[in-house]
């Protein structure tokens, strides 16, 4: 539990730091469009891992959820990713996700929301409801 508390503290510290350094894109409109931009950049970085680097490939087909237990479903549903993201692609994707999290924190700040509380609430929901939280 102490690790969970430390992670929430780090989230709060990160959100506080974002509030101190965000100047150019302080408008809620800028923040929302930056979130969209970095979402697209994450998708592009993953696509480039397939099309340019080739460290991963995508072999997609219809998901078979079966009629078995929840555990059976967990074991049969596929990510459709073949291979492993190389260090270079991992660095690029991580950087884009980091920027996305920055702007997600900025959005939370603009709306007066505590991101660590949001994460804690979502964690508690999925932990409490388990399989009934399927998304």
Q: Which structure tokens are listed for 36?
A: 């969209």
Q: Is CATH 3.60.140.10 the right assignment for the domain spanning 13-133?
A: no
C-alpha 135/C-alpha 124 separation (Å) is: 15
pLDDT in the model for residue 76: 81
Q: Which residue has the higher pLDDT, 57 or 128?
A: 57
Residue with tokens 């509380």: 117
Tell me the sheet residues that pair with 58.
81
Classify 60 as helix, strand or coil: coil
Domain ranges of the chain: 13-133
Residue 24, C-beta contacts closer than 8 angstroms, at least 6 positions apart = 30
C-alpha 6/C-alpha 12 separation (Å) is: 10
pLDDT digits (tens, 9 = 90+) for 98-122: 999 999 999 999 999 999 999 999 9
C-alpha 89/C-alpha 46 separation (Å) is: 8
pLDDT digits (tens, 9 = 90+) for 20-77: 998 888 899 999 999 999 999 999 999 999 999 999 999 998 888 777 777 777 778 8
Torsion of CA 80, 86, 87, 93, to 10 degrees: -40
pLDDT bin (cut points 50, 70, 90) of residue 1 is low
C-alpha 62/C-alpha 54 separation (Å) is: 23
**Exposure class string for 70-81: b at 16+ Cβ within 10 A, else e:** eeebeeeeeeee
Q: Which structure tokens are listed for 126?
A: 């999925």
């Amino acid at each position: 539990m102490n690790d969970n508390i430390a992670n929430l503290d780090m989230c709060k510290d990160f959100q506080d730091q974002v509030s101190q350094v965000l100047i150019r894109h302080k408008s809620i409109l800028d923040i929302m469009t930056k979130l969209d931009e970095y979402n697209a950049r994450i998708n592009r970085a993953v696509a480039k891992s397939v099309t340019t680097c080739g460290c991963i490939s995508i072999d997609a087909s219809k998901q078979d959820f079966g009629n078995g237990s929840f555990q059976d479903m967990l074991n049969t549903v596929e990510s459709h990713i073949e291979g492993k993201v190389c260090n270079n692609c991992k660095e690029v994707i991580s950087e884009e996700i980091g920027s996305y999290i920055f702007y997600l924190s900025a959005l939370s700040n603009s709306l007066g929301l505590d991101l660590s509380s949001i994460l804690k609430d979502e964690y508690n929901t999925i932990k409490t409801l388990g399989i009934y939280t399927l998304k």
